[in-house]
Structure 1
């Protein structure tokens, strides 16, 4: 089809942008500034024994999620490791993980001296496939890490059913899913433990930080001990019962998070509303397919809004170039992961250092077709802070995609 437009109209070639708005992140006010200043002025900056502000935030976050317990730590990678260790994994045990996620979902398993086993994603949701989980289970399997990728809930009914039948622990990696819900229940509260990140890009942030939530008394006691140098409640300061380290956050992080938490529900509902609207717009664009969202997804946090891109409907323009053009048009977007985790040099080179990964572990033969396709040709991400815009912004995002399509076809 001959374009009626000139390619010079593309912003990447010097044309006008479709979106001319700056989407601020993080969102903050004097409330955050004053809260941090009060901690600075108090002179009580650290967290030697679960300080008042840290404990206050833990209680607030647990109440927000509807869980019994919450344990803060330095980041979301450590929170996964604390959960795995508390769940009782031993050296050489296998933990099933998706290949389409951030690297630390898998490296937290290695750091527990366990073996990551990759189970492919559902091509309609980009979450771990229950059927692939079932196929990956062996006598050595001890746990499943279910990543709610982009803030879209996994099929938790199916995953919990598999876990119960095989006596497996389930850890929800909810680093993208603060405030999101599955059948009205907050993500992170369905499995044995739920892990969250407060890193700079996350929907709830203090720059860095992490959290694990659980309803299980024993898991809580162990995670609380592991993040506090192995100390136990009621013990002396220099009594150390478990192989933990100092993974505590500071009072300043805690007050930042307490203030940010006040904004989270409203922000989550705004992202959810915008995500639903943007989907109605993109459903009308030939070659663009938003990820499937079932009725069980009662609240989506849209840490990433993901759509599938069909290059054949865009003049066979490669995905990487399309994403670059879309970003130039002013849409905060990204092409996504370049390849699945098992293709990372860490796994291809088996650079596991001193960890107890058996010699038989061979990731060179792993192939997950849905994850491969997402990485190479299909997945494009719009980032969470853009989803805090208004309806007109969502319309502009769709117009930017249509503009590219018209000019490249």
Structure 2
């Protein structure tokens, strides 16, 4: 697990946004790129020497948003109006009826599960290949997370394996659009309808991604988005809930506001339920988000086009398999660019060595998520005193056995991540990424020594 890098730590390199070059005609193929210069670890020069676009991108509009909020003297959502304005604009951008700003993507998920009154004895279907927050919001409610194996070609939840995992205790299906690429929503929604189970979409990495022309996070009962500092839309920490169900969004508002009703222009309602917490978004964060939203659609378009270009070139390299898109995907958000690495085509070079050499070429990369179901953190749930009191030793032992995910075991030994800021570069930047991998393949035997 030491080599499984956190995606939040790779957004500090510098460079220039080459979007003006993105749409220029280009007939480059992977096989035509220069590989005559040796890798830097063999005394050559970096394939990508200049660095990538730094993150976050900001300017006068973000500065003014912070100053404007400061001068109002109304810094919290219960006092001001900026958060309500953000919620309205974000709902319009998503094409959904309602949006609720909260303190993080984790808070968005936790709030929705709270609004559904999830609790001990309940089960939630979730993918095994995801950030640990998806797991944490379930266990915070003393419910059981049920891991579903991965579709190794897409890195997404294998939707065909959801139905066999459903039991009478299943209360929620919670797919994640990993890397900003949509999961198989048609299959998931059909299962949801068949069993009358709500779908909560974890779209924390998937800002403006689309399934059949409609934004993800708007298909289920609710969707969760994260504005943490590495995200494609960010305000350091923050999140949002999207929903077309007015009753549900009102319950979410009450839960995130200590179980009480609100006096906001968006949510003038009474309290509901018997639990609550403070997960409110501040006016400062909302102002930043309104400014950042002005950049989001153009950035999303650049990422999607650059990712398509990378897909074409990397697919030509034996041993490199870009994450496959389902037929329903009409737009990828590409918070992560993911591909699988096969050492057989690189003289048996280990994944860790490949990542080390690729980083040295000026291409920041990571191995991504490890096998969450086998991590010490998750395994310890089976002996947690509270869970043993609720479920008993036999049930918790069976829970461990249910959570075997053999395809994900393979995926976590093959996965490679590139990062969203890198996809804001020019076509030349993309070509240099490919050139770096080509060089590594050509000199793999020497690099292994």
Give the alignment partner of residue 396 of structure 2, picking from 361, 365, 369: 361
Return the offset for 1:207. Answer: 0.4
1:345 corresponding residue in structure 2: 376
State whether residues 250 and 269 of structure 2, in contact with CA within 8 Å, keep that contact through their aligned partners in structure 1. no
Gaps of 5+ in 2: 1-33
Gaps of 5+ in 1: none
Return the offset for 1:91. Answer: 2.0
Query: Whole-Å Cα distance in 1 between the matches of residues 105 and 271 of structure 2?
Result: 27
Shift of the 33–364 alpha-carbon distance from structure 1 to 2, 3 Å rule, reads: same
Higher deviation after alignment, 233-242 or 392-401: 233-242
Query: Whole-Å Cα distance in 1 between the matches of residues 347 and 146 of structure 2?
Result: 38
Shift of the 15–75 alpha-carbon distance from structure 1 to 2, 3 Å rule, reads: same
Return the offset for 1:249. Answer: 1.5
Query: Whole-Å Cα distance in 1 between the matches of residues 234 and 142 of structure 2?
Result: 29
Aligned length, in residue pairs: 402
| Normalised TM-score (structure 2) | 0.85
Query: Whole-Å Cα distance in 1 between the matches of residues 356 and 293 of structure 2?
Result: 33
Query: Whole-Å Cα distance in 2 between the matches of residues 15 and 171 of structure 1?
Result: 49
State whether residues 336 and 380 of structure 1, in contact with CA within 8 Å, keep that contact through their aligned partners in structure 2. yes
Query: Whole-Å Cα distance in 2 between the matches of residues 237 and 101 of structure 1?
Result: 34
Query: Whole-Å Cα distance in 1 between the matches of residues 272 and 210 of structure 2?
Result: 38
Task: State the SS of the aligned residue for 2:331.
Answer: coil
Return the offset for 1:135. Answer: 1.4
Encode CA deviations 1:196-236: one digit per residue, 9 max, x unaligned: 11001111000001111101111101100111111114699
State whether residues 77 and 283 of structure 2, in contact with CA within 8 Å, keep that contact through their aligned partners in structure 1. yes
Give the alignment partner of residue 426 of structure 2, picking from 381, 390, 393: 390
Give the alignment partner of residue 28 of structure 1, picking from 58, 62, 85: 58
Task: State the SS of the aligned residue for 1:139.
Answer: coil
Return the offset for 1:344. Answer: 2.1
Query: Whole-Å Cα distance in 1 between the matches of residues 94 and 234 of structure 2?
Result: 16
Encode CA deviations 1:272-306: one digit per residue, 9 max, x unaligned: 00010000100111110111113321110111011
State whether residues 47 and 436 of structure 2, in contact with CA within 8 Å, keep that contact through their aligned partners in structure 1. yes
Give the alignment partner of residue 370 of structure 1, picking from 404, 407, 416: 407
Query: Whole-Å Cα distance in 1 between the matches of residues 338 and 177 of structure 2?
Result: 13
1:288 corresponding residue in structure 2: 320
Shift of the 129–98 alpha-carbon distance from structure 1 to 2, 3 Å rule, reads: same
1:44 corresponding residue in structure 2: 74
Alignment of structure 1 residues 36-115 onto 2, 5 Å: 36-48=66-78, 51-115=80-144
State whether residues 279 and 290 of structure 1, in contact with CA within 8 Å, keep that contact through their aligned partners in structure 2. yes
Encode CA deviations 1:98-146: one digit per residue, 9 max, x unaligned: 1100001011011122110011011111111112111111111111111
Return the offset for 1:41. Answer: 2.3
